[in-house]
Amino acid sequence: MATPTDSTAAAGAKPFDIVATYNELLRSDPDLTMPIAAIEALVLLLTHEPSSTISETLDLLAKSTAHLKKAIPNPIGLSAGTDLFQRYLITTLQRPGQLGPAGDFKAIRTHLLSNGRLFIRRAKESREKIVAFGRGFIRDGCTVLTNGGSRAVASLLQQAADEEGGPSAVRFKVIYVLSSISKDIEGPSGEPEGMETVRALRAKGVPVSTIPESAVAYALGKADMVIVGAEGVVENGGIVSRMGTYQIGLLAKAIGKPFYVVAESHKFVRLYPLGQYDLPIEQHVVDFKTEEDIAQKSKQQAVDSNADSPVELPLEDSVDFTPPHLISALITDSGVLTPSAVSEELIKIWF
Amino acid sequence: MPSTALALTPGLSSFLKSLKTNPIDTSIENLVSLLKRRQIRHSRSCATATAYLLLRVVSACRTSESTKLIERVQSVGRRLMAAQPREMVVGNIVRRVLGLIRDEAEDDREAEFALSEAGSESQPQTPRAFDDASMPLDRDMLGMRSDGGDRSSRPPLTSMFSLLSHPEPENSLPSTPGSQSPNARLFSHGHTKDVRAEVLEGINEIIDELGQVDDQIAAYALDHIHSNEIILTHTSSTTVQKFLLKAAAKRKFTVIIAESFPNNHEATHATVSGNIVGDDENLSFDSFQKPLIAHGITVILIPDSAVFALMSRVNKVILGTHSVLANGGLVAAAGTRVIARAAKVHQTPVVVVSGVYKLSPVYPFDFDSLIEYGDASKVLPFEDGDLVDKIDVQNPIYDYVPAELVDLYITNLGGHAPSYLYRIVSDHYRKEDISF
């Protein structure tokens, strides 16, 4: 089979490392979302590991997925991708037809392997679909409050700004909440997440105001709606998103402003968190310590600075969970959904 | 003299009468102007007029292709919707008819496919059997279920899998007229007559449904109204009245009606007292109906301002509506939101009765654009002419009520939570028709 990827040549050289592949994929394309990167990594895995039977393939997928999930500090977004891939494989195999049990297992394998690029393209197209559905939300003269570095939100806002000169002129303003925890302080940019979008919007002539997280309650009175992105959309319709989204949701509810979530439907993940501390993530946002603990920790770090410690989500990447009752609607590529519609989409693929 | 005047008044009945004799284009013009002048204004009247007009359009459309039929219905639908964008039922009916045509076209293609692949296992052709069922209620319920069943056995087209799916099946989807392959035309060729006949039958079923919807909703009344309850309602909605009357046949309860001044108070007074004036649109529905008081029900008529004061005694609020939106919110007669809000404060359950035909797939991006403003002289009559210059008088006819103020919707399909309405929307309208 012919694969469009160039990595097949290096296949024989060293064993395939799914974690490295996943990270490399995310790094190489800033527009790639975590679930799609995970699907891509699995596709590449299949090209490297020749497996001819169904159960062999499924077993390989399950093992690699578990490995990948363990190695990545925040596996929520990624597990949406791996689950989708696995379910797709199983459902296609069960369905009567050319790709089903009667047909050739190789056919479905070839389809998956040769269409890796197609999946990425479709994922990016789904963002355009979201923009089409979400266009109606940004009305003339409105002010949008947003946060984080969601690409879906950025493309929605930029698309709305692009049409400014056009026949359907929309003049809107944006309040951008910038995180006080800078993502890469020592990096060359050293600027908070989202600055890129802010610059792009300002270049298009959209007035943007940047505010710190502490000013959200103050600024919300001037906003007409809140639009945020999400890392994962969970079963009950709540979202897992950048730290600070939950408080914006609470404030928006208290002030009575609509709170919209923009997310691609491949981010729907089969997870039912009961609260903030029920996420399958190691993150120490609330970290109690005394003077003594700090001293002990720094001593310990000096001893084993490069020892293998369990993966922990760094503070700047920390996430929180926004429960569904705070969300007015989800703008996805399959339409504008109420939070309760998410479970149905998930049921469709799982049962 | 009054009788001739009545006959000449343009409205639903005169439109339906003229529909048989006038040519199609005149009829379309006629309905457009009736809608524009608000001479047809109740949700049901608009829906009925639209359905009958589309029946004529489809039967007069001598085309062999479903794509042409869809285009024709779309162009007529666009004109009707542009005539009165706030009357959302018009769009709903057009969308349902479009969905019917698409379903039939697809069924045909599948049937053809099954024929060509004789012997191999294929989907049982269930939908046609259901179309023959006489009861629209049954048909709806079963139709829904068969839809669901189809969806799970067929590749789920709109689901999350679309990301990974094989490109080929997607191309053969008849989603857009542009993608109609020559194959499709070939397939539908043999079944042309069948498609139109099926669509006409479907439209007739929609019309039947419009006629029966209130009785179907009323069938749920005994589940929701209990003995000695105090029910609060608003306006003279026929759906609500029938609902209450059904319960009144078996149980004794008290009804409080807010009079809904200034747009509907006369009709409300008439409903309460039972002397309904011969309004030609409501003639068939109301005039033979005995009022609630005749059933021994205590009816209390209150001004709108007394709603909050009485709410603490009320057991249940039952409201009619103008249209229901996809997010679970609703557009109803002005004053509804005040009642719903007061009920929320007192934790009184709010039940909204509405036919499925009022359920619109439109998402309310801009609430203000949904509100229609009426005759300001009803608030401040022109006798106070010197005041009219100095103050700004407004008379909104509708209110937008957000979904969180409603506890339950009762439609002809049963009771639903507001958050479940999206599901009924997706069962009744095709995605490709939502914005056409």
DSSP state of A283: B
Closest residue in chain B to residue A329, using alpha carbons only: B327
Between chains, do B363 and A338 touch, taking CB under 8 Å as contact?
A: no
- pLDDT tens across B13-37, in order? 888 888 888 888 888 888 898 888 8
Q: Is the pLDDT of residue B277 over 80?
A: no
CA distance A190 to chain B (A): 35
What's the CA gap between A40 and A117, in Å, rounded? 8
The verdict on A118 touching B (C-beta cutoff 8 Å) is yes
CA distance A345 to chain B (A): 6
- For A:138-197, CB contacts with B below 8 A are 139
**Tell me, what's the pLDDT at B434?**
80
The verdict on A335 touching B (C-beta cutoff 8 Å) is yes
Q: Residue ranges of the domains in chain A?
A: 6-114, 126-281+316-350
Mean pLDDT of chain A: 82
The verdict on A339 touching B (C-beta cutoff 8 Å) is yes
Between chains, do B422 and A338 touch, taking CB under 8 Å as contact?
A: yes
What's the CA gap between A266 and A83, in Å, rounded? 10
Q: Is the pLDDT of residue A219 over 80?
A: yes
Distance linking the first and last C-alpha atoms of chain B: 45
**Tell me, what's the pLDDT at A54?**
80
Higher pLDDT, A180 or A345: A345
pLDDT, average across residues A133-145: 88
- pLDDT tens across B32-41, in order? 988 888 888 8
Higher pLDDT, A113 or A309: A113
CA distance B348 to chain A (A): 20
pLDDT, average across residues A270-282: 89
Higher pLDDT, A114 or A303: A114
- For residue B196, what are the contacts with CB-CB under 8 A and spacing of at least 6? B58, B59, B61, B69
Quick check: ipTM above 0.85? no
- pLDDT tens across B388-427, in order? 778 888 899 999 999 999 999 999 999 999 988 888 988 8
Between chains, do B422 and A118 touch, taking CB under 8 Å as contact?
A: no
Of the pLDDT bands very low, low, confident and very high (cuts 50, 70, 90), residue B60 is: confident
Q: Which of A192-206, A335-349, B120-134, B402-416 has the highest mean pLDDT?
A: B402-416
Of the pLDDT bands very low, low, confident and very high (cuts 50, 70, 90), residue A260 is: very high
Domains of chain B, earliest start first:
8-212 (no CATH), 219-433 (3.40.50.10470)
Between chains, do B363 and A268 touch, taking CB under 8 Å as contact?
A: no
- List the single residue in B155, B156, B160 with the smallest CB-CB distance to A266: B160
**Tell me, what's the pLDDT at B276?**
62
Of the pLDDT bands very low, low, confident and very high (cuts 50, 70, 90), residue A7 is: very low
Predicted structure pTM score: 0.80
The dihedral over CA atoms of A146, A148, A151, A152, expressed in degrees to the nearest 10, equals -40
Reported as half-sphere exposure (CB side, CA atoms, 13 A), residue B95 has a value of 25
Best residue of B154, B164, B363, B421 to probe chain A, by most A CBs closer than 10 Å: B164
- List the single residue in A123, A126, A139 with the smallest CB-CB distance to B365: A139
Token pair 């791996």 is at which residue?
A82
Max Cα–Cα distance, chain B, nearest Å: 84
- pLDDT tens across A95-116, in order? 766 555 555 677 777 777 777 7
- Percentage of chain B modeled with pLDDT above 70: 77
The verdict on A37 touching B (C-beta cutoff 8 Å) is no
Q: In b/e form, how buried is each residue of A253-272, taking b as 16+ CB within 10 angstroms?
A: beeebbbbbbbbbbbbbbbe
pLDDT, average across residues B237-250: 91
- pLDDT tens across B357-390, in order? 999 988 887 778 888 888 888 888 878 778 777 8
| Contact by Cβ (8 Å): B409, B415 | yes
CA distance A287 to chain B (A): 37
- For residue A104, what are the contacts with CB-CB under 8 A and spacing of at least 6? none
- List the single residue in A139, A339, A348 with the smallest CB-CB distance to B159: A348
Question: Helix (H, G, I), strand (E, B), or coil: what is residue B165?
Answer: coil
Best residue of A82, A137, A340, A351 to probe chain B, by most B CBs closer than 10 Å: A340
- pLDDT tens across B283-339, in order? 444 445 678 888 889 999 999 999 999 999 999 999 999 999 988 899 999 999 999
| Contact by Cβ (8 Å): A169, A163 | yes
- For residue B298, what are the contacts with CB-CB under 8 A and spacing of at least 6? B253, B254, B255
- pLDDT tens across A76-102, in order? 888 888 988 888 888 877 776 655 555
Q: Is the pLDDT of residue B170 over 50?
A: no
Reported as half-sphere exposure (CB side, CA atoms, 13 A), residue A298 has a value of 6
Q: Is the pLDDT of residue A184 over 60?
A: no
Which CATH superfamily is A126-281+316-350 part of? Translation initiation factor eif-2b; domain 2 (3.40.50.10470)
- For residue B105, what are the contacts with CB-CB under 8 A and spacing of at least 6? B66, B174, B184, B188, B195
Closest by Cα among B410, B389, B258 to B334 = B258
Max Cα–Cα distance, chain A, nearest Å: 67
- Percentage of chain B modeled with pLDDT above 90: 37
Token pair 């001479």 is at which residue?
B39
Q: Is the pLDDT of residue A127 over 50?
A: yes
The dihedral over CA atoms of A220, A226, A229, A232, expressed in degrees to the nearest 10, equals 100
What's the CA gap between A257 and A242, in Å, rounded? 20
Residues on chain B touching A87 (C-beta within 8 angstroms): 161
Q: Is the pLDDT of residue B150 over 70?
A: no
- List the single residue in A329, A338, A349 with the smallest CB-CB distance to B159: A349
CA distance A29 to chain B (A): 18
CA distance A91 to chain B (A): 9
Between chains, do A349 and B155 touch, taking CB under 8 Å as contact?
A: no
